[in-house]
Amino acid sequence: MASLNFFPHTSSPSCSSSSSFRSGCSFLRPNSSINLQSFRRTHTRSRSLVVKSTAGDTSVADPPPSFSGDRVSSSDSISHLKLTLLSAVSGLNRGLAANEDDLRKADAAAKELEAAGGLVDLSADLDKLQGRWRLIYSSAFSSRTLGGSRPGPPTGRLLPITLGQVFQRIDILSKDFDNIVEVQLGAPWPFPPLDATATLAHKFELIGSSKIKITFEKTTVKTAGNLSQLPPFELPRIPDSFRPPSNTGSGEFEVTYLDTDTRVTRGDRGELRVFVIS
């Protein structure tokens, strides 16, 4: 996954309108609730699972019971581990609010799911990549920059940037791989904040059974809200001679878990990212 940077480079990700943001927000709004409907299953257990939403995040009030031995099927075990991972990353604002303990818990939950799911073979399951995926967690965001493990604008009060939803749109036929980022840019009073969607376009190729390489092409910005009538415009690309060594125009990541609604990836700098189908 390319970095979430508004300046073209690859290590960053159609989108909703300006309603995705809350006006007057001074920091980062919580991510919208994770859809757990597909993970709810009817189990004959002595304890029931209670899922409730707080501040736009999904939390598990009563953790699911531990499954062991031959008492459960493989699909039940996978469902349980997926829910455990989603519970571990909920409330972390996609990783922007994660501390070291949160990072360890998310990584441990992801490793359990990866082990249970087995090796990913994209040559056989490439069709599962198709679609629009919503980012619900990135360990790289704990760096407090939108670039994650790579250069990018800082979050917080240094710059008036509020991060909205982040998506990846993948087309397995055209090999398009777009990172789509909703942002809100603050403006001095009395001007309203500016809502915009940045699309960082890439091409992708398989370089192994589970590894993907993406190559950056361009960044396009489309304004929303009161300025939605303006046409999209393309940001000029930084000449290769001026690119820092960390911004080579391409990046690699490994898909470590994949099914029809959940995807887990590990970046070339160790970043853990979790996506759900949108």
**Ramachandran assignment for 106, one of left (phi > 0), alpha (psi -120 to 50 degrees), beta (any other):** alpha
**Ramachandran assignment for 95, one of left (phi > 0), alpha (psi -120 to 50 degrees), beta (any other):** left
Question: Does residue 41 sit within a domain?
Answer: no
Neighbour tally for 205: CB within 10 Å: 11
Question: Does residue 169 sit within a domain?
Answer: yes
Question: Does residue 29 sit within a domain?
Answer: no
Question: Does residue 24 sit within a domain?
Answer: no
Question: Does residue 129 sit within a domain?
Answer: yes
Contacts of 244 (CB under 8 A, 6+ apart): 151
- For residue 48, give Cα distances in angstroms to 65, 74, 212: 9, 20, 39
Question: Does residue 70 sit within a domain?
Answer: no
Instruction: Please list the ranges in the chain whose pLDDT falls under 70.
Output: 1-73, 144-159, 242-248
Amino acid symbol at 66 = S
Question: Does residue 20 sit within a domain?
Answer: no
Q: Does pTM surpass 0.75?
A: no
Instruction: Quote the number of domains for the chain.
Output: 1
Handedness of CA 54, 185, 165, 121 (dihedral sign): negative
CATH number (domain holding residue 258) = 2.40.128.280
What pLDDT was estimated at residue 6? Answer: 41
What pLDDT was estimated at residue 187? Answer: 82
Which domain range does residue 106 map to? 75-149+158-277
What pLDDT was estimated at residue 229? Answer: 92
